Structure 1
């Protein structure tokens, strides 16, 4: 793997011009984009897009709020802690999650946002995936909280709309009608995480086990990631058995497939391993939006994704069933780790061999 000073980007996800999707007068350009996305989905499930409809100014504003939120005092952030509700909205403390078995609790803190769903909504009443009202600091603790709210929700809605367009491109890559995924995308659950990664800690022989986020695969349908100027994201390339750095590109989104799409396509498309290790010596910030889909939608093998007469590799399953379990597992792993450390009467982890990666929403 390349050093932090000389990142290896030789097989990084390519940069694609997404404006070709909207150019109705140039069918050849649109087909070129579809072919490029298909190649990426067959290779490692990652690509990057520029010239999309999300304004660069909005990206910059939401990233500025991302940094500003994590600069708030800890007691302000904890006032909107995700442990204060049961629907996964609000602030997440450092070292709350372990996605890669055998590594240390992850060196990141987060803030979860989603569609504003009132407690009277059927999704909340029936405890559907990550469904409920957002958690915002009070005006007493953050004077311009309304700007924070309006900026983040404007960004969220723009990215969710873009995710639906990406699904249209993915449908075309599979020789399906462009609107094939429209029912799946209707009433969809999508979760946005503002994230802050302090620099990787060194010393005590633990650096090799410290991650910003451990090696994992996402388990929704598609993820759109906005990076700041600090690198740290790495994607596994199974062909050459090596990690490759994804260097930030101003205005671009990193797009990757999740486990739902891999399952849906009968493993034709790839939900690929990725991780974050912040060796830059700087604070790193990013904002992923995980598009999971309608929680009641049944994921079954897509047309054209299995030979005639053969059984699909996976039985039908709802989005709720597919996404919920792995999500709880990753946080449960961190809780078990902390409990074991408390039982042993130690404050820091003893290194253990790195085990199997898992999925994350």
Structure 2
């Protein structure tokens, strides 16, 4: 009988050291996780705990602002996914309500004269910084210091994943060179315990769009990962200093479905406000994603046609935000006495 267990906590430090046996054990454990559900937690990385604390405080300072001040940097005023996102703007799980979270989208500073901006590459443009947040200069400095630290960690994680495939740790350098990533400050308001959790989830059940995600949690629980063989939802308990790491749809596609991009969700029934900072690493927008080495049996065909990072992730964004807009449009029609075509909302 299968006994499900939450994603394991792995010591990542052997990746940086000279102990080849410890490094091989780390690679084996990561491979097992990638094959099973694509989720694990890591400690022993190079992102300082002190920096994690500072960036979490930045997040809280921003979300403490009045909503009208946060809306001064509304992400809907640009097409490159930077700025503030209101509660219930996204809907990742069909049949639920739009999600009970608000966010601030941040990425590399890409000026309006940069080729990525001029060519309308994925999530490429200047950040929208709040002007009324306390100590705004420190807010910007800490945010970008943290962004760059986790960007480097994402490259290290991909280095270990490359080793699990039997190739050099540098294999993904063409993907990570010139890569695009998006960081979000997320805030989940306290959710009354008697609310219908299907309609008031922090984030509905979904898989991530890109290559890998690194998530920093505060001390409030809520993240759950689906254990596919048993159908059980497993709590991913916060571990001080750790990152929850998971593979995204783009990586699973490259791995010919051998490595998993698994379903997860957030339901904040703690009675407390929850804060988290996910870092979504997509890759170089022009990188062509094809079947990876050692992900096919002899004679087996690749399941997917080649696709660029740009095309894959852009299509996923459009689907999730379009779903939320349709849901709200149908509710508006219902309030006018019309019958919304709720069955038309697709996964």
Structure 2 residue aligned with 1:20: 14
Does 1:289 pair with 2:283? no
- Between the aligned partners of 1:241 and 1:189, the Cα distance in structure 2 is 34
- Between the aligned partners of 2:196 and 2:269, the Cα distance in structure 1 is 14
Q: Which deviates more, 329-338 or 222-231?
A: 329-338
- Deviations 1:336-355, CA, capped at 9 Å, x for gaps: 111111122279xx9x79x8
8 Å CA contact retained: 1:201, 1:210:
no
- Between the aligned partners of 1:82 and 1:309, the Cα distance in structure 2 is 47
Secondary structure, in 3 states, of the residue corresponding to 1:207?
coil
**What stretches of structure 2 of length at least 5 have no aligned partner?**
none
- Deviations 1:211-260, CA, capped at 9 Å, x for gaps: 10000000111000000000000000011111000000000000000011
8 Å CA contact retained: 2:192, 2:271:
no
Displacement after TM superposition at 1:84 (Å): 1.4
8 Å CA contact retained: 2:197, 2:267:
no
Equivalent residue in structure 2 for 1:110, among 92, 103, 107: 103
Displacement after TM superposition at 1:199 (Å): 2.1
Question: Would you identify which runs of 4 or more consecutive aligned residues in structure 1 move more than 4 Å?
Answer: none
TM-score computed with the length of structure 1 as normaliser: 0.91
Does 1:123 pair with 2:113? no
- Between the aligned partners of 2:290 and 2:220, the Cα distance in structure 1 is 39
TM-score computed with the length of structure 2 as normaliser: 0.95
Displacement after TM superposition at 1:305 (Å): 1.1
- Between the aligned partners of 1:202 and 1:329, the Cα distance in structure 2 is 30
- Deviations 1:30-84, CA, capped at 9 Å, x for gaps: 0010001001001110000001000000000000111111011111100011011
8 Å CA contact retained: 1:221, 1:291:
yes
8 Å CA contact retained: 2:98, 2:199:
no
Equivalent residue in structure 2 for 1:48, among 41, 52, 56: 41
Does 1:167 pair with 2:167? no
How many pairs are equivalent? 343
Cα gap change, 1:212 to 1:336, in 2 (>3 Å):
same
- Between the aligned partners of 1:74 and 1:241, the Cα distance in structure 2 is 39
Secondary structure, in 3 states, of the residue corresponding to 2:161?
helix
**What stretches of structure 1 of length at least 5 have no aligned partner?**
1-8
Does 1:325 pair with 2:319? no
Does 1:298 pair with 2:288? yes
- Deviations 1:140-186, CA, capped at 9 Å, x for gaps: x2351110000010000000000000000000000011110001100
Structure 2 residue aligned with 1:5: none
Structure 2 residue aligned with 1:227: 217
Structure 1 residue aligned with 2:181: 190
Cα gap change, 1:346 to 1:22, in 2 (>3 Å):
farther
- Between the aligned partners of 1:193 and 1:50, the Cα distance in structure 2 is 21
Cα gap change, 1:346 to 1:121, in 2 (>3 Å):
same
- Between the aligned partners of 1:206 and 1:168, the Cα distance in structure 2 is 42
Secondary structure, in 3 states, of the residue corresponding to 2:330?
helix
Displacement after TM superposition at 1:310 (Å): 2.5
Counterparts of residues 1-361 of structure 1 (less than 5 Å): 11-24=5-18, 26-138=19-131, 141-201=132-192, 206-345=196-335
